[in-house]
Amino acid sequence: MTVVACPTCGKKVEWIPANKYRPFCSERCKQIDLGAWAEEKYTIPGAAAGDKQDDKLADD
């Protein structure tokens, strides 16, 4: 059995099909994480908007 840490609170969680909130420990932790994404607290690295590479891809 695989055990992971909840990304929100760090509580140990069993990675099993019965845990419908995995990798989170609960609905609450899942919603906290979703709220952080909605508030743009997390970012995915990438090129800045309007970067030359974006213009090149648009021309293709």
Is residue 32 annotated as involved in ligand binding? no
Strands (E), 1-60: 3-5, 12-14
Dist CA 10 CA 24 (whole Å): 9
**Is 29 labelled as part of a ligand binding site?**
yes
25 is in an annotated binding site: yes
**Binding residue per annotation — 6?**
yes
Instruction: Report residue 39 as tokens.
Output: 């508030």
List residues forming the annotated binding site for Zn(2+): 6, 9, 25, 29
Residue numbers in the known binding site are 6, 9, 25, 29
